Structure formats: structure tokens, C-alpha cells
Structure 1
């Protein structure tokens, strides 16, 4: 009997509480991460403060999750598991290997530090589900893996880099938006597909590409996240033009937490400004690949209410990719090319610092 060589793909996301009981654990993981909650404080002060903030925010966050209708938790883990299952099928179809796809989170469960997630190698490949590089997402993921395995995975053959500037990513995103407005997407593949879709000429809409914001402190440390967002939007806009799009595109940032200065302009500012001009607005979640709190509640409810109350003629939430087949086929290609994509310290170039065990120093 011939046995196929086994390979494992691990999809990494920031995470979300699956139940109400996991909310405080999720927030504690989030705020104690030095690449996320980056304050100019010694650890003996930063960590207790982070735990205090997590505990204090838990009741407020519970109410938000309860309002979403997913049993008091977030759908992000379940949606990432759908993507993993679909990618597993694609990789088994495309190769002669026996692939198993798993899901790991850097906050909450299943946590990336769990023993089931093995050392990155050509047989165990980690794919962070962040199109754009940021210290708060990609560098955080790499740091978790470095602490666990005593080496940075970049260049190990077991890590897939971000893809914000890739032409094919731009083409797939533009096609996805086009198919959404031409009603060519399979509604059943999406979580809470918008009930009301735009019925006019989508080619003249104002598109807002809304990204998750990050503190400017991270940008000042060398994080190229804003440049990555700009690269994505520029490339996608060019591809939309080829599909006939004539309107204006805008970049904005959402989900600010705390009083510190964050990336701007805020999505709330942009939406209110365009709405007061009577624009027809569509929002696409440029930094997200699956729908969850930020897309369903923040964009789909808060942004919609603000837009319509401020005078917008219409508001449309474009969903995230989810299990959109062309996107998953693209990710599979990235996974299969993981061994040959990296030959330099991407952490230093994209995030402003090398991790201690960088193999390219």
C-alpha cells in the first residue's frame, strides 16, 4: 500500500471568543500582547494594566457580542474553520500529499501556543490570514512561534508571507466586488449576506476601503501597515477601473480603542463627510478575509446607521471573502510556494525590527 506524505496547514487569525465565557480570556490575551498593546511602560506595569483593562472592558464587550446573535460569542473561529476545511480539500486535490488544515488563534482558543501546533517546516506551514503586514498581527504571530520553538519561522519553509502588493490579490478582490454588485456570488456561502443590496449602477458609488486601525506608535516604530493598505487599495482600484468602475475610492481606519492617536482618517469621519454630501456609499473590509464583529456589527450596523442618518442616499456593506473559491485557490497557491518566497528578514523590513532568533541577521 502506498502512503501519501502528510502535510499540515495552520491558518492563523487574531481570534475571537467562541462563547460568552471566553470573552475575558480573549481580551486578556489581546491586551497582554506587547505587539498589540504597545505602551512605553516596563512589563511589571504594562501587564497588570493590560489585565485590568481586559477585565474592565469585558461587560461592555459581552453586550456587543450578545447583540450579534451568535450565542454570545464571535463567528470568527467558526468562519476560519470553514476556510480551513475548504483549503484542505483544494490542497488535497492539487497535490499528491495528504493535507490536514487546522486553525490557530493568537488570542483566545484554539491558541497558537497549544501543543498540537508543531514547529514550522516544509511539512507544517503557517498561513496568517492578514493580507497586510502589521506588527500587531503578523509580527505578533511570528513572536508567538519564536517563543514556542526558539526560532523565527521566517525562512523556515513553513511560513506564508502577507500579500498586500500582489497583483493577483488585487485582481481577485476587484472580481469579488464586481460579482457582489452583479449578483453573481453564492449567497449561501456567506455569513449574514446583506439582505438589501444596491440596485443602481455600482460603477459610480463611493467605495470606502475600511481597514482595522492601529496605534500610530506602531507606525513610528517602522510598521508599514499604512503603506500596505495603500498598496492594496491602489492595486484593487486599478483593477476595478478595468471592470468599468468610475467612482471615487477612499481609505479609512476603524475600531479605535483608547485615547492614543491611531491611524487616520477614521471610517466614521469619512462616512459622515460623504453622507453629508448625499453620496451613495459602499464599504469594503480591506484588512479582513472573513466576517465577524468588525464587519457585521461595526460596518453593517454602526456605519450604516451613521451614513443614512447623515444624509447618504444609500449604504452598502460588501462582505469579506469567506470561502469565496477564487480567493481560497489563491491562498492554496501561496501555501504551495511557501518554500521559495522568503530569503530576507521581512520582520525588519515590514515591521521595523528583527526578532531575536532571525536567521537573516
Structure 2
């Protein structure tokens, strides 16, 4: 009997500096991406401006990272590595085939452009960890891989599609939120696990589903991100109602950068409004699957402080999914079904344009 060939899954995330020395590199990668830093400028000017902004922002961002208590960097890479380790075991056990799960980042290190990350095919699969499609996340990742390998991964058998629209994801996320409020989660698995609980029945809370914002310029180019966030939230809330949740639900967007118009309402606006009306508030990071700067610092500290300042009765940060077992089991199922799941151009459908080497172009 011959040994089965090992398969490789590469979990792709946006990235974060692992230490203070990587902050400027991370920001430079981030702002150099044309799908993230999308401006109507000649490319050479856009790149120069991106590098200038990265250098200027680095000292301020450094102070924020230092305050988080992770050695001056972000925990995103290590949190993604934890997910990879658990997922590797699930895939190997479920498929009977040996799997290796690696971690790659679009910005910073380990960088997706490195030679160790090889061409997508049925034995080397890429899974971007973004629940909803956006030009700034999923399309950006596909464009990086297209530039590297000369073809878009969609339809290659080596790409696992985004998952935020699926009913199974809605079910497991609602279950996760329910288990959080009923103290059923394994606290040791989560960073800075929120010990505060609402001083009211959780079923009557106002839950704010906070997504990472994007510039409206991307939406005007055909990005369906806001639609996808709404579908995700509606699906999760429908499942939460089955657990008896009767509270109000809100969608908002966080992490705006620069003067341009971004997706609204902002989470700051929404929390200010709810807190001023004396609400009990919980915030769930709908577009994140790992805790990091935006969830731990922005949601967990800044939004909590804002709530109490504005008169809110209580505030709770709901963690990101992290290594929640039903979530990783779900990702394993998505991975094993990836080969035949896409036979059309999702970039055009969800992001407004096909990449140059799309195999589905007419």
C-alpha cells in the first residue's frame, strides 16, 4: 500500500507586525496595495504617498501596539498559527490524508509572496480568513497570487472561497455567541477573555455587529462587501432568535483611516447613539475571525470607554471565533469541498472586476 500524498492548506490573513521592528514594514505593505490604498493617482505617486504615510504613522501605531501587552506587536500571526495547528489535525483525521497547514500574511511576515508558498492546485490550497468578500481583502489576496503565479487561483482547485454567506457559518456563529453569554466557552483559548458580563438578561441586549470599514470608493467600484456583511448579520441573528434573543441588532463599521468617505454608520457613531440612550451594549466583530488590535484595543478598550462616557449601562466585547472547534471543523469541511465549489468569476460578481488572468473570462 502506498502512502497518500501530503496536502497543504495555507491560511491567509491580512497580517500584523510580530514586533515593533516590523510595524513600518507592515504599514508599507498595507498602504502599497492598490486594492487597499485605492487612489486616482499615477502608480509612482501612489506608491510614494503610501510609503510616506507608513513612515509617518509608524510611531503612533507603535504606541498602540505597546499598550496591548504583546511585546510591541500584534497577536494576529500567533493566533492564526493556533488556528492552523488545530485545523491541521482536523483535516488529517477527517480525510485520512496527511495535511500541512501553513500561515501566510498579505502584509508583513510570513509573507504570502515568499517562495515557500507555491502555486495553488488541488494539493496546495489557499484559504483567505475573511468571512465577507471585499476588494481590500479577498480580491487583494487573489491579485497577489495572480501576480505571483500568472493566473487567478479561482477555479484552480486550490482556492477555498469566502464563507460568510453560508448558513453553517451563521449557525455556528450564533452558537458561539450563545455559548459566550452562557459561560460555555473555554476561556483559556481566548486572549484577554472578557470577564465583564451585561448587568441585564443577554437576550435583551443591543448587539452591534462591527465590521472593518472600507472606503466608499471601493463600494462604488462594485464591491459587494456591505451587502455581504448584511447577509451575514441577518443569518446569524435569525439563528440567535432561536436561542431566545429578543434584543435589537445594529451593523456598523470601524477603523476608518484618512479623510475620505468610508462605509457608515461608524461604530463610534452607533455606540455613542446607543449609549446616550442608556442601552446595554455588546459588540461582535463580524468581519474578524481572530482577536487582534481592532478587537482587543479598539473594541475592547476604546469602545468600552466611549460607552461608559456616553451613559451606556453596560458594555461587553464578544471575542472573535479563534480556535472555537465548530468553526475550525467548518473550515475543514469548506477546504475538503473546495475543488468543485467555484466555476465562475467571483471577482467580477462580488468585487466589480475580473483579474487579468481570470480563467472564466468570455
Q: Say whether the fold is shared (TM-score over 0.5).
A: yes
- TM-score tier after normalising by the smaller chain length: over 0.9
Tell me, yes or no, if structure 1 residue 247 matches structure 2 residue 251. no
SS of equivalent to 1:28: helix
How far did residue 198 of structure 1 move?
2.7
2:151/2:357 contact within 8 Å kept = yes
Within 5 Å, give how 1:221-300 maps onto structure 2.
Answer: 221-300=221-300
CA distance in structure 2 between the aligned counterparts of 1:2 and 1:151, rounded to whole angstroms: 32
Tell me, yes or no, if structure 1 residue 318 matches structure 2 residue 321. no
Within 5 Å, give how 1:93-242 maps onto structure 2.
Answer: 93-242=93-242
User: What per-residue deviation string (whole Å, max 9, x for no partner) do you get for residues 305-353 of structure 1?
Assistant: 0001100000000000000000000000000000011000000000000
Taking structure 1 as the reference length, the TM-score comes to 0.99
Query: 1:17 maps to what in 2?
Result: 17
For structure 1, the 5+ residue unaligned runs are none
CA distance in structure 2 between the aligned counterparts of 1:278 and 1:198, rounded to whole angstroms: 13
Query: 2:85 maps to what in 1?
Result: 85
Aligned length: 361
Taking structure 2 as the reference length, the TM-score comes to 0.99
CA distance in structure 2 between the aligned counterparts of 1:340 and 1:216, rounded to whole angstroms: 33
2:35/2:136 contact within 8 Å kept = yes
2:212/2:255 contact within 8 Å kept = yes
SS of equivalent to 2:335: helix
SS of equivalent to 1:304: helix
Query: 2:345 maps to what in 1?
Result: 345
CA distance in structure 2 between the aligned counterparts of 1:96 and 1:304, rounded to whole angstroms: 46
SS of equivalent to 1:158: coil
User: What per-residue deviation string (whole Å, max 9, x for no partner) do you get for residues 32-61 of structure 1?
Assistant: 000000000010110000000000000000
Query: 2:31 maps to what in 1?
Result: 31
CA distance in structure 1 between the aligned counterparts of 2:318 and 2:51, rounded to whole angstroms: 35
2:199/2:314 contact within 8 Å kept = no
2:8/2:123 contact within 8 Å kept = yes
Query: 2:329 maps to what in 1?
Result: 329
For structure 2, the 5+ residue unaligned runs are none
CA distance in structure 1 between the aligned counterparts of 2:79 and 2:352, rounded to whole angstroms: 31
How far did residue 91 of structure 1 move?
0.4
CA distance in structure 1 between the aligned counterparts of 2:358 and 2:199, rounded to whole angstroms: 52
How far did residue 199 of structure 1 move?
5.0
Over aligned residue pairs, what C-alpha RMSD do you find?
A: 0.7
User: What per-residue deviation string (whole Å, max 9, x for no partner) do you get for residues 200-248 of structure 1?
Assistant: 3100000000000000000000000000000000111111111100010
